[in-house]
Structure 1
Amino acid sequence: MKAGSVFRESIPGWLIKAGLVFCTLPSTVLLGLYNSNATYTSGYLGVEPEDMQFIMSITYGALIATMLIENRFYRFFATRNYLLGISVLSVLALMLSAYVKNFTLFIFLRVFDGIVMALPGGVMIQLLLTRFKSKSARIIVFSFFYSTLLCSPAIIANMVAFTLDRWDWRYMIYGAVGVQLFGMLIILLIFNNNRLHRSLPLYQIDYAGYILLLAVLLCGTYVLVYGEKRYWLHAWDIRLSLTVTIIFSGLFILRQRYAKRPLFNFDVLKDPNIRSGLLIFIVLYTCRATLNMVHATMVQVWHWEQLYIARVQWINAGGVVIGIVLAGWLLARQFPVRYIFSIAFAAMAVYLFWFRWLYKLDVGIEDIALPYMLQGFSVGFIFTPLVLFIVSQAPAHLSQYATRAGAATRFWGTSLGFCITHNLQVFLQRKHYISLSQYVTGTNPIAEGRIAAATQSFIAKGYPADQAANLAFRQIDGSVRAQSILLGNMEIFTYLGIFVVCFIVLILFNNHLRHTYNLFRNKIFGY
């Protein structure tokens, strides 16, 4: 059956495209809902702010695992009924999240959220591709999809800031529910009751493999996020999670090797170009994790307000859009992807080195705007070409597995990037704090003078002498901590900048990347 037959014949093509675009937005944008304002959400749930990274990661992990089986579900159901059912489940998950305050229940709810978010992705992209007839259809669709995904933190951050500035957090959830309900009306309007594919039975899905993979993703995430906080292997839960990750990974690989209908075919990883592309994704997401350090500095050191930070994020989102549009234009003109990768990482290196000099106490938006936008540009410029590059390197019968490998690599890159940057931050900040604290003593005339001046300042405000001395010391200690944060960030950005420059050299001289232009052009453009 033709893909177009799932739409009502009386609906014009432009309305079908607009409806598909609108229905694609919730599952991509809402992925970052609870990570957009970690401070508020952690306070609402009564947990630590770092727990929000785990919440985000498990949602993403559940989404990645479900991507391996979602195509079987949309093949089983009629397209309209399938999308309506997903919308109902999404509304249910959103409404429950508005009232659940128990962190354990919230974790299970976020896993369920990740599963629901993954289900419409494949069919929506497939349907969008059928509506664009040009040779650049894949570039257009993927550029739109990934621009929405990459800009979602800025979109959600501003929506959350707007909501919290006027109403309660729950109104944000109610708004998301309203979007889902409107999407259901669009589905009823543009779809008929026909099927997109021949129905396949659901009992043939490798559910055991799915459970193994989901456990690996969740336990592996737990190790990477909480390892430093729990002192790594000294904690029983880290040892248990690591053991489950290793054993279940082995079982999953063995099962996929010998399963009649595997969820993932590991033969796709035999291609050196695909391995190179996956490595580029890991490096990209490790560098992208530095954006969290920038946002943390805005709060902890520069003391910018959350509403202001949300507005500042539009600068980064603007860079993402510029990068994606420019990359799409270059791809349509068959510009070699090797140079696209190099330009993207060159922009990332400039951002890292530039920001290294901006980590000081007095910084304004005019100082950070350009390098902050460059970070978004570098990510947007490389993302769509890299996804298409990975998919184009696989044989036709393995292309779906290349897509899944890329998505899984982005997940592990996100978790690994957080783990690397977070551990470096903790180590370097502790080192600098201890080093700087040695000078805050009564024998240091400069420190003694600052403490005395701060004490007199508090006494002048009406504080008793003992309390004023305590407040003065806390003020000096806060300054030392702020300086240790800035010094640690400077080192991390310097090391990563040097690493990225070396990585650019490897990309330019990589023999596999140098000889894949024709294959990439044939797979994407058909000639």
Structure 2
Amino acid sequence: MAAQNAYFHPRFNGYTGLVRLALIFILFAGIAQFASFGIIQAHVISYYGAQPEDVTFAFQITYVGIITTLPVQFRTYRFFNTRRYLVIAFLAGILLNTGCLLTQDLVVFTALRFLTGVVTCIIAGCMLLSIFTTLPEPKRMLVGISIFFPLILAAGLIVGIGASWAVERMDWTAMYYGLIALQVLAMPLCVIVFKEKPDVKPYPLYQVDWFGAVLFMFGAAAAAFVMIYGPKRYWLNDREIRNAVVSGVIMTALFLYRQATVKRPLIHLSVFRHGKFVFAILLMVVFYGARDSINLLYGYSAGILGWSAGDIVNAGMFNVAGVVLGTLVAVKVILVKKQNLPFLLLGGFALMAYYHFWVHLHITPDLSFAQISIPVFLQGLSCGLLFVPITVFCMASIPQTTGMTGIVVCTYARFAATLNSISGFNTLQLNYNQRHRENLSGNFAAGNELLSQRLEFYKSFFMSKGYSQGETTGLSNALVAKSAGVQSQLLTIREIFYLLGMCMAATVIVLIGFAVVSKIKTAKVERLIDRKIISEA
């Protein structure tokens, strides 16, 4: 309770559960503006008259704002008055949402989205640290993260419910009014819950590596530009991509050099000397890269099955249910015995492999809602089983003296994995679609019996509906072309999911090998200790 009294008003002494509920609502109000466009991306693209990669970059630049601010936020949280800090952040969020509502300039929208990421990080960082103070010390990291992750994932779908409702009844920009309303509700809650003057010693802001944060910001933005636009611009064949690569490498090198030399770095590079931490970060990258395949399944539902945004949100609720169930199981198992963590990793990646193979084997042009719900739930369950154990593995692999470096590097890994999945999925889809279209084009050759039968079927159908000869021929050809496009996309999705399934299976094998080697090393150390004790006796 002492830790709680440092930040929260005395009126809430003894009401820890109520405080946590208030913090969760404030957190949701803060991150809702970050996770607000995934379901209605097509509407945003149409509104700005932009290419899909332009809007994707505008979304990812928000994450650049988050990961740039995060290590700084852990310092500023101890300097500013928490209550005022949050209120000012929500006021800034309201202004940014108003700006996004009024502008139709994509460049301005992108700049506003970056600042939205900064505001989101300020609120989310405050809430993460505040939630930690309400938990017992031994369970602080585990339970705090287990609350944080499912809420971030669920926020996108919860906001998606409101967004899908809005786009079906009005202009999608009306969604901003809902985001602003959430922020207005959160501000008085901040005033009520937090003390006017927290009982903590301020952390001097001159000790924060502001220049390092600027270097990282430009490096991360350049990386996002390269990975998002690279597949469409043939990578280094494009001058802007080459310039972005050079800029990104220079900025990243300068950032790393600065972190290695300054007295108080944003992140401690010494964590990378720990082999287990590096291994855990690689698992994080693999996990998040494979997790993003769910977007291909949602895209298939919208593009091929013709689902509305509301239908996709409803299916996504099965994913959230899986995440919550998996997270509860993971937390319970780890609390019982931390040595169970390797089994959770094995089970989670094995289930992730099964999910990918299931989609590879069962995807067709006419899956039902019930059938889609199965892999969506399995994917959520595997994510719930993996996220908390991987994060705990990361944090347990480094000394406590490194502070929040583990969490910061995990967010960097999340960003890198997302960019890699965006770039990788785009590249794979372009290559596989091109190959399958070329293979299918052989069926369009004149005199092909299958093509002739299909065209005759369509022509007979349209003739029976009263269409003219010319209209019948045009419509028949269009349907054949559309059918070939759908078939090509299905084959592409199958190949991508098979590739990811094999990667997950390989990860399971690596984990088994890692567990065996760790056990052998532990047994060897125990034998050496026993020999030393016997010799001393």
Shorter chain as normaliser: what TM range? over 0.9
The normalised TM-score by structure 2 is 0.92
Counterparts in 2 of 1:135 and 1:225: CA distance versus 1, 3 Å: same
Residue 210 of structure 1 corresponds to 213
Residue 69 (structure 2) pairs with residue 69 (structure 1): no
Distance 1:487 1:160 in 2: 31
Q: Is this contact kept in 2: 1:150–1:317, CA < 8 A?
A: yes
Range 286-295 or range 152-161, more displaced? 152-161
Counterpart secondary structure, 1:6: coil
1:478 is matched with which residue?
Answer: 482
Equivalent of 1:339 in 335, 338, 343: 343
State the Cα distance separating 1:457 from its structure 2 match.
3.0
Q: Distance in 1 between matches of 2:489 and 2:171?
A: 33
Q: 1:388 aligns with which of 392, 408, 412?
A: 392
**Could you list the per-position Cα deviations for residues 356-393 of structure 1 after superposition, in whole angstroms to 9, with x for gaps in the alignment?**
12221221122232222111111111111211221121
Moved over 4 A (4+): 511-518
366, 385, 397: which one pairs with 2:401? 397
Answer yes or no: is 1:44 the counterpart of 2:47.
yes
Partner AA of 2:231 in structure 1: E
- Does residue 408 of structure 2 align to residue 408 of structure 1? no
Q: CA–CA distance in 2 between the matches of 1:414 and 1:137?
A: 27
Cα 1:344–1:516 change in 2 (3 A) is farther
Within the alignment, does 1:116 sit opposite 2:116 as a pair?
Answer: no
1:503 matched to 2:507:
yes
- Give, in whole Å, the separation in 2 of the partners of 1:207 and 1:11: 36
Question: CA offsets per residue over residues 205-251 of structure 1, 9 Å max, x none?
Answer: 22221111011111101111111111111111111111111111111
Q: What SS does structure 1 have at the residue aligned with 2:267? A: coil
Aligned to 1:454: 458
Which string of whole-angstrom CA distances, capped at 9 and with x for unpartnered residues, describes residues 498-518 of structure 1?
Answer: 221111011122157658999
What is the SS of the residue equivalent to 1:200? coil
Q: Quote the Cα distance in structure 2 between the aligned partners of 1:514 and 1:422.
A: 40
Residue of structure 2 aligned with 1:172, choices 170, 175, 191:
175
Q: Secondary structure at 1:136's aligned position in 2?
A: helix
Amino acid at match of 1:188: V
Distance 2:450 2:443 in 1: 9
Measure how far apart 1:346 and its partner are. 0.7
Number of paired residues?
518
Opposite residue 234 of structure 1, the aligned amino acid is: N
Note the 1:204-353 alignment, pairs <5 A.
204-335=207-338, 336-353=340-357
Cross-structure match for 1:424:
428
Task: Identify the range of structure 1 (130-139 vs 230-239) with the bigger mean alpha-carbon deviation.
Answer: 130-139
Q: Judge conservation of contact 1:28–1:148 (CA < 8 Å) in 2.
A: no
3-state SS of the aligned residue for 1:98?
helix
SS in 1 for 2:33: helix
Q: 2:315–2:372: 8 Å Cα contact kept in structure 1?
A: no
Contact 1:42 1:48 in 2 (8 A): yes
Structure 2 counterpart SS, 1:349: helix
Cα distance in 1 for partners of 2:349, 2:45 equals: 34
Once the two structures are TM-superposed, the CA of residue 486 in structure 1 deviates from its matched residue by: 0.7
Pairwise mapping of residues 11-26 of structure 1 onto structure 2 (< 5 A)? 11-12=12-13, 13=15, 14-26=17-29
> What whole-Å deviation, never above 9, does each CA across 1:290-333 have from its counterpart, x for those lacking one?
11111111122222222212211111111111111111111111
1:223–1:241 CA contact under 8 A, matched in 2: yes
**Counterpart of 2:149?**
146
- 1:75-132, Cα deviation, whole Å (9 max, x unpaired): 2211111111111111111111112111111110110011111112333222222222
Query: What residue ranges of structure 2 are gaps of 5+ in the alignment?
Result: 524-537
| Secondary structure, aligned partner of 2:202 | coil
Please say if residues 348 and 378 of structure 1, whose CA atoms lie closer than 8 Å, have aligned partners that are also in contact.
yes
AA aligned opposite 1:87: F
Whether the 8 Å contact between 1:213 and 1:249 is mirrored in structure 2 is yes
Structure-2 separation of matches of 1:78 and 1:147: 28
Distance 1:173 1:189 in 2: 25
- Give the Cα separation in 2 of the matches to 1:120 and 1:106: 21
What is the letter of the counterpart of residue 9 of structure 2?
R
Distance 1:197 1:517, change over 3 A: farther
Q: For 1:166 and 1:129, how far apart are their aligned partners in 2? A: 41
Q: Aligned equivalents of 2:188 and 2:522: distance in 1?
A: 44
The corresponding residue for 1:522 is: none
Matched, 1:373 2:365: no
Cα distance in 2 between the residues matched to 1:472 and 1:8: 71
Counterpart of 1:4? 5
**Deviations 1:376-420 (Å, cap 9, x if unpaired)?**
111111111211221121111114111111110011011112211
Asked if 2 retains the 8 angstrom alpha-carbon contact of 1:459 and 1:468, the reply is yes
> Cα distance 1:196–1:297, how it changes in 2: closer, same or farther (>3 A)?
farther
- After superposition, what is the alpha-carbon deviation per residue over 1:261-292, rounded to whole angstroms, capped at 9, x for unaligned? 21122111110111011000111112112111
- Contact kept? 1:351, 1:371, Cα under 8 Å: yes
2-structure distance, mates of 1:291, 1:51: 21
The answer (yes or no) to whether the contact 2:353–2:504 under 8 Å persists in 1 is yes
Following superposition, the deviation at residue 198 of structure 1 comes to: 1.8
The 1:286–1:187 alpha-carbon spacing in structure 2 relative to 1, beyond 3 Å, is same
Change (3 A) 1:432 1:407: same
| Correspondence for 2:363 | 359
Q: TM-score if structure 1 supplies the norm length?
A: 0.94
Which one is further off, 168-177 or 385-394?
A: 168-177
Q: CA deviation at 1:192?
A: 2.1
Does the 8 Å contact 2:32/2:179 carry over to 1? no
* Distance (Å, rounded) in 2 between the aligned partners of 1:36 and 1:490: 23
Taking only the aligned residue pairs, the percentage that are identical comes to 25
Tell me how far apart the structure 1 counterparts of residues 244 and 137 of structure 2 sit (CA, whole Å): 48
> In structure 2, what is the Cα distance between the partners aligned to 1:271 and 1:60?
27
Q: Is the 8 A contact 1:256 1:264 kept in 2?
A: yes
1:494 corresponding residue in structure 2? 498
Q: Which residue of 1 aligns with 2:129?
A: 126
Q: Which moved more, 1:105-114 or 1:453-462?
A: 453-462
CA contact (8 A) 1:3 1:196 kept: no
The answer for the alignment partner of 2:192 in structure 1 is 189
Which SS does the other structure have where 2:32 is aligned? helix
* 2:449 maps to amino acid: P
Q: Any conservation in 2 of the 1:150–1:380 contact (CA below 8 Å)?
A: no
Residue type at the aligned position of 2:11? S
